[in-house]
Amino acid sequence: MSTPGLSSSRFDGYSEARLLKRAKWSDGLFAVLGLLVLVATLLVLGALVADFINDGASRIDGDFLTSYPSRRPGSAGILSAWVGTTLVMIVTAALAVPLGVAAGVYLEEYAPKNWVTEINVTNLAGVPSIIYGLLALGLFVQTLAMGQTILVAGITLALLILPILIVATRESLRAIPQDIREASFGLGADQWQTVSGYLLPAARPGILTGAIVGLSRAIGETAPIITIGALTYIAFLPPSPVSASPPFVNFDWLNSPFTVMPIQMFNWVSRPQAAFHENAAATGVLLLGMTLLMNGFAIYLRYRLRRTVRT
């Protein structure tokens, strides 16, 4: 295979034909190989989903969703875990989306091109999630003594997905034709009017995609939350954010201890008893369902976006 067909064609027609045949044959062989690798990869994904459904789907019922974790696997549930996940995600979304979009807008539309910020964002996106956990442990839990609360977990995950949102915002801004900006400036708009009136609305679908992908990553993230020391037995709910009496809304829940679904799943899968593994699988089915749905929706949005841009 080291000599291409051309060089040997000088000598005789017979070997040329053979080389050509062999080249075509290896071409076909590679196509088959590529397909095989592809099918194998997708099979693994399929096996994973099937395994979870097989092990855990039957365990999911009303009681499972409305019970606290327990020493007896049969009566244990994920009430505190899914409530915790919901509340942490509210904090994460409320911080990461505005912060990420604002940072993305600044880096793309305002800041001069600068390799320090470029490296910074690329590097942040590649920092292992557990390092964010160490940051939160050292800074929020230790130095600022904020405790292992919903607020700390929400901030940590928000910082973790910040690069995803920044990159998504920048890429969708970059895709907007320069004419739009020039037209806006030409009409006498200043930079903020251009950004808020024309660029952000045009970039909205791309930003939404980034936000969904980022949040689905945050939902499944386990390591940083373990690192801040939140792997504990939680059999109560945080104080309710809304109440019947004035002022109707309160933020006490931000300072409450918590657990989240991936933590609960990790806790159960680390135990030797098979009955707890079933609980872990059931939690996994719900987690997988949420993250795959969110990712699927993001992919659909991106697909539709690409089609509208093309036409």
CB 242, min distance to another protein, A: 29
Q: CA 171 to CA 300: how far, in whole Å?
A: 17
| 234 binding another protein? (CB under 8 A) | no
Q: Is 136 helix (H, G, I), strand (E, B) or coil?
A: helix
Which C-beta is closer to another protein: that of 87 or that of 285? 285
Interface positions, 56-85, toward another protein (CB under 8 A): none
| 233 binding another protein? (CB under 8 A) | no
CB 131, min distance to another protein, A: 5
Interface positions, 13-32, toward another protein (CB under 8 A): 23-24, 26-27, 30-31
Cα-flanking dihedrals φ and ψ of residue 242, to 5°? -120, 145
Report the residue from 92, 184, 216, 256 that binds another protein according to the rule CB under 8 A: 216
CB 232, min distance to another protein, A: 9
| 202 binding another protein? (CB under 8 A) | no
Nearest C-alpha neighbor of 213 from the set 275, 145, 169, 161:
161
Mask for 140-159, x = binds another protein (CB under 8 A): --x----------------x
Interface positions, 259-298, toward another protein (CB under 8 A): 262, 265-266, 269-270, 277, 280-281, 284, 287-288, 291-292, 294-296
| 303 binding another protein? (CB under 8 A) | yes
Interface positions, 94-123, toward another protein (CB under 8 A): 98-100, 102-103, 105-107, 110-111, 116-123
Report the residue from 8, 18, 48, 175 that binds another protein according to the rule CB under 8 A: 48
| 47 binding another protein? (CB under 8 A) | yes
Angle CA(110)–CA(196)–CA(116) in degrees, nearest 5? 25
Note every long-range contact of 56-63, with CB atoms under 8 Å and residues 24 or more positions apart, other chains counting. 56/278, 56/279, 56/280, 56/281, 56/282, 56/283, 56/284, 56/285, 57/282, 57/285, 59/278, 59/279, 59/281, 59/282, 60/282, 60/285, 60/286
| 138 binding another protein? (CB under 8 A) | yes
Which C-beta is closer to another protein: that of 150 or that of 282? 282
Please say whether the beta carbons of 267 and 279 come within 8 A: no
Which C-beta is closer to another protein: that of 204 or that of 271? 271
Please say whether the beta carbons of 203 and 169 come within 8 A: yes
| 255 binding another protein? (CB under 8 A) | no
Report the residue from 192, 233, 243, 304 that binds another protein according to the rule CB under 8 A: 192
CB 310, min distance to another protein, A: 12
Could you tell me the two tokens for 230?
């939140």
Q: CA 75 to CA 188: how far, in whole Å?
A: 66
Spatial CB neighbours of 104, under 8 Å, sequence gap ≥ 6: 165, 166, 167, 168, 169, 170, 173, 207
Which C-beta is closer to another protein: that of 117 or that of 255? 117
| CA terminus-to-terminus distance, the chain | 44
Please say whether the beta carbons of 156 and 136 come within 8 A: yes
- Chain centroid offset of residue 219 CA: 7
Could you tell me the two tokens for 37?
């690798």
Which C-beta is closer to another protein: that of 223 or that of 237? 223
